[in-house]
Amino acid sequence: MMKNTMNRPLFTVSVSDRFYGDSSPITLQEEGLKTNLELASTLGFEGVEIQIHTPSNYVWERVAQQTQELNLKVTAFGTGLEYGVNGLSFTSRDESVRQLAQERFIEYITVASQFDAAVFLGLCRGTSPRFSTRTEYLDLLYQQFLPLCEHAQRLGVLLVLEPIVFYLTTLLNTTHETLEFLERPGMEQMQLLLDTHHMFIEDADYIQSFRDAAGKIGHLHISDSNRKYPGCGNVDYTAVGNVLKEIGYSNPVSLETLPYPTSAEGARIGLEWMKKTWSQ
Ligand code: LER
Ligand code: MN
């Protein structure tokens, strides 16, 4: 991935191609990807993470041209909808589903290489049916990730793995267990995607987690304890801002919030938090 030469993160927002629901944490989910790109640019964001599914439905050269004209950097591709909409899972008991997940992520990595963007590994990890089978499922996940890491390395694409809260998966919930997982051999192309929502619920001390993960955080989601914009819930965003500056975090910071009270208003307030944090 190209190095950001600013000494602060790029201010970005999650955008989609349509409305996925008020309980879906994608900030801009108006009708049409282009509409959301235009909205992100009008609101003053510097970049976007694109959360769609089935990338072959898009003409990516056109999206590249649109984002260029809007002066937006595409920082990442979110893949959670591949699990939610298409049912793709790397730990499915069905080998053909695992195979489809492999092929789909190879596709994402190839598209992301055209944008110098990262690819998220989130909900598509699937889940272990029992706590007692977690080790077996994590080993399977590791085997599934290795070919993706190789492809990503060849194309110079960063993969980012997100610790996700217990109510969505039993695999890799905390920042520390995900850091440990990333130490397995062959995973050098993968870093962390941290998300303040998951960290707040899962980590014993989510501010200390940022320090412990310093240098290994490839992308960051801003989402309060209730998944709304910063300030709506219990996350201490003053402390989050301070620790991010303390560790010199300069990869993208991205709003991944419920479209509350509307897509545009939640995004506007979230961007204000980013600007205030990095102007001090
Ligand atoms: C995706 O980045 C995420 O945070 C998950 O909770 C899916 O919404
Ligand atoms: Mn997230």
The domain spanning residue 124 has which CATH number? Answer: 3.20.20.150
Spacing, Cα 78 to ligand 1 middle (Å): 9
Q: 265: helix, coil or strand?
A: helix
What is the C-alpha separation between 246 and 74, in angstroms, rounded?
26
In a domain, 155, yes or no: yes
Q: What is the reported pLDDT for 2?
A: 57
| Pocket of ligand 1 from Cβ distances under 6 Å | 25, 80, 122-123, 162, 164, 168, 195, 221, 256
In a domain, 2, yes or no: no
Angstrom distances, CA of residue 49 to CA of 26, 140, 191, 201, 244:
10, 28, 16, 23, 20
What is the C-alpha separation between 275 and 280, in angstroms, rounded?
9
In a domain, 3, yes or no: no
In a domain, 78, yes or no: yes
Question: Nearest bound ligand to CA 81?
Answer: 1
In this prediction, the residues of the chain whose per-residue pLDDT falls under 50 are none
Number of domains the chain is built from: 1
pTM of structure = 0.97
In a mutational test of the pocket of ligand 1, which residue from 168, 200, 225, 227 has the highest number of ligand atoms less than 8 Å from its CB? 168
In a domain, 64, yes or no: yes
Atom of ligand 1 nearest to the CA of 195: 4
For 152, residues 6+ apart whose C-beta sits below 8 A from its C-beta are 109, 119, 158, 159, 189, 190
Helices assigned H by DSSP within the chain: 33-43, 60-69, 80-84, 95-115, 134-155, 175-181, 196-202, 206-212, 237-246, 263-279
What is the span of the domain harbouring residue 158? 11-279
In a domain, 4, yes or no: no
Residues β-bridged to residue 49: 14, 76
Q: Rounded to 5 degrees, what are φ and ψ at 162? A: -105, 120
Which residue type does 220 have? L
Closest CA to 228 of 193, 192, 196, 251: 196
* Cβ-count burial 85-96 (b if 16+ within 10 Å, e if not): ebebbbbbeeee
In a domain, 6, yes or no: no
In a domain, 1, yes or no: no
What is the C-alpha separation between 8 and 103, in angstroms, rounded?
35
